[in-house]
Structure 1
Amino acid sequence: MSEEEKIIAAEEKKKQKAIDKEIQTTKRTGKDAPKTHGEILRDQITDAQETYEKSPSSILASSMTAGLEIGFSFLMICSVFYFLEGKMEESSIFKMIALVYPLGFILVVMGQSILFTEQTALLTLPVLNNKRTIGSMLRLWGLVICGNLIGGYMIALLLNWLGPRLGIFNSEVVITIADHVLKAAPHVIFVSAIVAGWLMGLLSWLLASARDTISRIVMIFLITSVMAFTGLHHSIIGSVEVFSGMIKSADITFLDYVSFQSLALLGNAFGGAIFVGLLKYRAFVFNIIGK
């Protein structure tokens, strides 16, 4: 290592120590006072570190649970669409769905299951803080995604069998919803997924700032209902919707599903990690370095 490289490494080490010290020594505010940026960041990094330290089997089980629970949003989407079909225009029904779409997300977040999009920014923070490697983050992402998707497939199969038998929705409704998700061009789905990932990452940050259960539920409802009302693409609930359409319609192929899922996952990851994890963390770092 050259002398110049040693100087640069020493400077980086000094900056890292300053950042760690600021995070660790951030004073806790009063019970009713809003949390500071440093408090939220510290809590987020601590939560993320706890996730990294869990066993793979625990993470897989928790992420599968999240995939199952997110299916309750799909149940309500299909049921509301079937109930309102013929009573109002289809475009209006899709707007009304925003009122029930948050249910699965509320169950997942309040039940502390591991959902990929809600955890994306959170799991990025220890990497940015040099406590974890990119490789460990990608391995954890992969495990969470697998669990979420498997849970989603299971609940999709169950609900597609149960719905028609209870008379709460039929195959035509499932296909209509899947077509609605897939109607956008690939590049639009990707950008839409970036914005959805951004919102989910912000949700994680906002939840860390909340101090009571009602506030947390309201935040989850507001963020996810915005996603539903605007038609933004979420990789996990979207997987349940498109997978269900695929098993019900020959016009929706496996290639359609894989294409959608790839774009949605990449977009959600990019939105959560870059726009929230990186920008929120860098804003804190610039504030420390500038002192």
Structure 2
Amino acid sequence: MTFSLSDSELNDRLDRLPVLAGRERVVEDLVGGLTNRNVKITTADGVYVARCSGSDSELLAIDRDDEYANSRAAERAGVGAPVVDYRPDLGILLIGYLDGVTLTAADFARDGVIARAAMACRTLHGGPRFRNDFDMFARQQAYLRIVDQHGFRLPDGYLDLADQFAAIRAALDRPGLVTVPCNNDLLAANFVDDGEKIWLIDYEYSGNNDPCFELGNIWRDNGLSLDQLEALVTAYFGRTTRHQLARARLQGTVSQYGWTLWGCIQNGSSALDFDFWEWAMQRYDNAVEEFRGRDFTRLLDDAGATGRERGVTS
């Protein structure tokens, strides 16, 4: 599974968008995009980004209509790029170009970045609800069925950790938990810093979710330290309790165990020149480290301690 779009095909599709039709333009490929071809388009009237996708993302459970609707909601929240056009028949979502720099994992160590990233998340989470829900426990099961049906390779011992994964699910289960609109895939490159605020981009995997999943996923996908996770949780909630910190940390493990299967599916189906197996194993190793950590049981206890919100230092 991969998406290939020639320059001539791309330009033909761009010509069918009213805002670009008949206009001189400069088209530049943007780095990244393992399920899209993303291009920057500069015209005399404006600068845009076209997210170009094919019809081959069903194995990864990407719903392009959800992506469009949620991108619009993120724009209304004030943290997403403006949505200019959406043409599912052409496989194009056209958004405004954000004039800023994409973060790297190392940037989270710079003064103020974690606080501004947390503010961006709070802004998104406080905005209009998304069109769909996102539950990594359900997504992991769906991915696992796909891996099994297609005979894709799994890391050794992956299934042996099912009981620990189920234990996290039980610990995180809270009656009446309020979900919020989450991006769910905030790799560093999906943060755009314009010098004054941080914007959030790429809503392929967005959906209403536990905000602690967002925080935990940021921690693990960007290789942050536990101290940085605590700083992120504190900046987001205004204070940190052991309950909140444990939920974020366990949700980070949930994300890694689930995204491992995303990499396994891509490893078995994509023709892209990218080492998806190494990508999957990095997530798997992150999950194993937490599953087998000496404080795993304590985290389960703290995550379920809804009636006794203890401070981090207590």
Q: TM-score, normalised by structure 2?
A: 0.24
**Larger % of helix: which?**
1
- Mark the structure with the bigger radius of gyration: 1
Which of 1 and 2 has higher RCO (CA within 8 Å, sep 6+)? 1
- The TM-score with structure 1 as length reference comes to 0.26
Name the structure where strand makes up a greater proportion of residues: 2
